[in-house]
Amino acid sequence: MSDFSAKVLSTIKSFDMCNKSERLLICLSGGADSAALLLCLKELGFDICACHVNHQLRGAESDRDEQFCRQLCEKLDVRFESIKLDVTGYCKENGLSVELGARKLRYDYFYSFDVDKICTAHSLSDSLETTIFDLARGTGLKGLCGIPPVRDKIIRPLIECTREEIEAYLSSQGQDFVTDSTNLEDIYSRNKIRHNIIPVMKNINNGLYSSYSNTIGYLRADSDHLEAEADDLYDKCLLDKGYDCRLLSSSHVSIRRRAVMRIFDHEGIKCSSALIADTDSIIQNGGRLNISGDIFAVSSKGVLTFGYWTDPNEKPLAVTVDEMGKYVFENRNISFSIIEMPYDIANIQKKFTNCYMDYDKMNGVLLLRGRLPDDKIRLCNRDFNSDVRKLVNSAFRQEDRKSAVLIADGEGLIFVEKYGIADRVKVDASTKRVLVFEIS
Task: Check which CATH number belongs to the domain holding 246 and give it.
Answer: 1.20.59.20
Give 3-state DSSP helix, strand, coil % of the chain, rounded to 5. Answer: 45, 20, 30
Count Cβ atoms within 10 A of the Cβ of residue 310 and give its class: 0-12 exposed, 13-18 middle, 19 or more buried.
exposed
185 and 143 assigned to the same domain: yes
Query: Distance between CA 87 and CA 200 in Å, rounded?
Result: 35
In a domain, 134, yes or no: yes
* Cβ within 8 Å of residue 250, ≥6 positions away: none
CA distances from 139 to 146, 264, 273, 283, 393 (A): 11, 19, 9, 23, 38
CATH number for position 334: 3.50.40.10
Distance (Å, rounded) from C-alpha 434 to C-alpha 324? 12
Burial class (CB in 10 A: 0-12, 13-18, 19+), 205: exposed
| Domains of the chain: total | 3
Shared-domain flag, residues 80 and 125: yes
Q: What is the DSSP string of 130-189?
A: HHHHHHHH---HHHHT-S-SEETTEE-TTTT--HHHHHHHHHHHT------GGGG-TTSH
**In a domain? residue 325:** yes
Q: Would you say residue 214 lies in a domain?
A: no
Predicted local distance difference test score (pLDDT) of residue 398: 72
Nearest Cα neighbor of 25 from 41, 2, 9, 5 is 41
Report the DSSP pairing between strands 117-119 and 23-27. parallel
3-state class of 46 per DSSP? coil
Length of the chain: 440
Spatial neighbors of 285 by CB under 8 A, at least 6 apart, are 299
Q: Is residue 370 part of a domain?
A: yes
Task: Give Cα separations from 184 to 56, 181, 202, 386 (angstroms).
Answer: 18, 6, 19, 46
Q: Let me know whether 150 and 255 are in one domain.
A: no
301-339 pLDDT, tens per residue?
Answer: 899 998 765 554 555 667 788 788 888 777 678 888 888
Report residues of the chain scoring pLDDT below 70: 182-188, 292-294, 308-317, 331, 342-354
Residue 312: per-residue pLDDT: 47
- In this structure, are 62 and 81 located in the same domain? yes
Q: Say what the pLDDT of residue 218 is.
A: 94
Distance CA 332, CA 54 (A): 43
DSSP state letter for 341: S
Report yes or no on 227 lying in a domain: no
- For residue 61, give the nearest of 192, 184, 229 by alpha carbon: 184
Same domain, 83 and 29: yes
Among residues 182, 204, 226, the one where a domain terminates is 204
Q: What is the pLDDT of residues 145-185, one digit of tens each?
A: 999 999 989 999 999 999 999 999 999 999 999 887 766 66
Residue 361: CB atoms within 10 Å: 19
pLDDT recorded at residue 352: 44
Asked if 180 and 51 sit in the same domain, the reply is yes
Residues near 172 by beta carbon (within 8 Å), at least 6 away in sequence:
2, 4
Q: What is the DSSP letter of 324?
A: S
* CATH number, domain with residue 196: 3.40.50.620
77 backbone φψ class: left, alpha, beta (φ>0; ψ -120 to 50): left
With beta carbons less than 8 A apart as the criterion, state whether 411 and 363 touch: yes
Query: Do 99 and 200 reside in the same domain of the chain?
Result: yes
Do residues 257 and 280 make contact, with C-beta atoms less than 8 angstroms apart? Answer: yes
| 326 and 265 assigned to the same domain | no
The domain in which residue 259 lies consists of: 234-308
Q: Are residues 303 and 238 in the same domain?
A: yes
Does residue 10 lie within any of the structural domains? yes
**The pTM of the whole model exceeds 0.85:** no
Coil, strand, or helix at residue 223?
Answer: helix
Looking at the fold, whether 78 and 164 belong to one and the same domain comes out as yes
255 lies in the same domain as 330: no
For residue 228, being part of any structural domain is answered with no
Question: Taking the C-alpha atoms of 247, 250, 255 and 261 in order, what is their torsion angle to the nearest 10 degrees?
Answer: 50
Listed residues 290, 308, 326: the one ending a domain: 308
End residue of a domain, out of 162, 184, 204: 204
Are 331 and 278 in contact, with CB atoms under 8 Å apart? no
Please give the Cα distance from 417 to 371 (Å, whole number): 11
Q: Is 194 among the domain residues?
A: yes
Classified as helix, coil or strand, 320 is strand
Task: Please count the helices (runs of H) and the strands (runs of E) in the chain.
Answer: 16, 22
Do 287 and 370 reside in the same domain of the chain?
no
